[in-house]
Structure 1
Amino acid sequence: MSDVAVYSVTSPSLKTRQASPAPAAEPATARAPRNDAVRCTACSMRSICMPQGLTSEELQRMESLICPSRTIKQGETLYRANDSFQSIYAVRAGSFKTVVMHRDGREQVTGFHLAGDSLGLDGVCSGHHSCDAVALEDSKVCIIPFHLLEAMCREVKAVQQHLHRMMGGEIVRESSQMLLLGTMSADQRVATFLLNMSDRLRLRGYSPAEFHLRMTREEIGSYLGIKLETVSRMLSRFQRDGLVDIRGKDIRIVDHAGLVRV
């Protein structure tokens, strides 16, 4: 499965920046470090979103190609379906949902993304994004122009391997989502969602037992392929069974093993 969220932050729109044509590719080795370069070494998400094993010179070069971070306000879009693909994004803080629209105007949530996750890889194949990325709260992203990243991939094997891992992770995420929707009952889907949230927050150094849901019950239902009422009913049942303690959007996992057995 994949994705959930916790965090926050303020920003100008990215639309104008994305609409401008990409500059001619410049060899990554020729790019001098900028004064406004993002300091990945000081970022708490570095171990998740940055390649491992870079030399100090390679890390400096990596930082030099990342644009200064931007903040996307809650409810605003980072990019929309059919927008031209120019960059990928690392979520520095906050959380996003990715959605596609049905022909009748209904919204289908395809993923939840939190700090350390990447966004935008859906545009690599066709040159256009296939979904909308919407901030669930005030969120901050680092912008990585893809043509510059490709140039560095040709020069630094660790960066190339990291990009391959990110793309492979997208394949695994989509396969897990198909398994979730195709084989699990409603209670198993909700339990898996909570366990996934717990595990992903643990990897980021946060409490795996207590967290705040940034998405609505309706958005969770859309992602899990069940109705809002079913999500609420399953959560209430889990609380009655002593598996979780729920206070609005605040979740405390009381019996982790019991959730696994659902």
Structure 2
Amino acid sequence: MQNQLCCQQCHFSQLCLPYSFELKEIEKLDDIIVRKNPYHRRQRLFEAGQPLHSLYAVRSGSFKSFILSEDGQEQITAFHLPGDVIGFDAIHNKTHPSFAEALETSMVCELPYSSLDELGEMFPKLRQQLSRTMSGMLCQNQEALMVLNKYTANERLSHFLASLGHRFGDRGFSPTSFRLSMTRSEIGNYLGLSIETVSRILTQLQKDGKISVEGKLINLLVPTLAD
């Protein structure tokens, strides 16, 4: 049975919706949203090549986006947390260029794109919010490229952990103590590092007193890991 939580009750609605959204606009949006049953680890929202039908707002849990090379090698392009919207990269060609897969048991709100586009015509603030969200994702992608191209291996992982902390903090969670839903192999794939390098750097950061690691739980012990 689907959970009937509405946008007004959702803790992460401020990340998906404008603060100034009016009640009637939220109710209209609620009418088109499909609140899906849980997705379990490795279950996919969509696959590359599928036509765009919906965007997906993460309610709980986390997902990864990835593409496949010609020889079938996976390259992770993003990690998605509660409040993130997945699927924007399909709008241009109306076809998903990437895969989206659950990292853990997760829930999403499905927003049928055709209905969402019609609502955008009716409610300009919704269209503005979608544009703002897409712009934010472009900025994140540009930052990720800079990290990969300019940073050392140690700086890449330190920046990744600090960035996760900021993202969790934006969602009302602790910015200094959080659980990694992705494996070390997945982190390495995203950052262009081997799993051995990720493990070595985590060990060194812990020895330096910058983090503590308890299984998948990470505690950031200094304000800036790069210090």
Normalising by structure 1, we get a TM-score of 0.83
Residues 229-253 of structure 1: CA deviation (Å, up to 9, x unaligned): 1111111110010000111211111
Once superposed, which parts of structure 1, at least 4 consecutive aligned residues long, lie more than 2 Å away?
none
In 2, Cα distance between equivalents of 1:41 and 1:186: 42
Which residue identity is paired with 1:162?
Q
In 1, Cα distance between equivalents of 2:82 and 2:162: 18
Structure 1 residue ranges without an equivalent (≥5):
1-9, 12-35
Residue 81 in structure 1 maps to residue 22 in structure 2: no
Q: Taking structure 1 as reference, are residues 175 and 193 closer, same or farther at Cα in structure 2, changes over 3 Å only? A: same
The offset of 1:69, in angstroms, is 2.9
Which residue identity is paired with 1:136?
L
In the TM superposition, what are the counterparts of 1:156-235 in structure 2 within 5 Å?
Answer: 156-235=123-202
Q: What is the match of residue 39 of structure 1? A: 6
CA root-mean-square deviation: 1.5
The offset of 1:38, in angstroms, is 5.0
Q: What is the match of residue 27 of structure 1? A: none
Residues 66-119 of structure 1: CA deviation (Å, up to 9, x unaligned): 123332111110100001111100001110011111122211111110110000
The offset of 1:211, in angstroms, is 0.9
The offset of 1:37, in angstroms, is 6.4
The offset of 1:122, in angstroms, is 1.1
Residue 101 in structure 1 maps to residue 68 in structure 2: yes
Q: What is the match of residue 213 of structure 2? A: 246
* Bigger Rg, structure 1 or 2: 1
2:58 alignment partner, one of 81, 84, 91: 91
In 1, Cα distance between equivalents of 2:72 and 2:116: 35
Which residue identity is paired with 2:62?
S
In 1, Cα distance between equivalents of 2:218 and 2:178: 5
Which residue identity is paired with 1:250?
L
Normalising by structure 2, we get a TM-score of 0.96
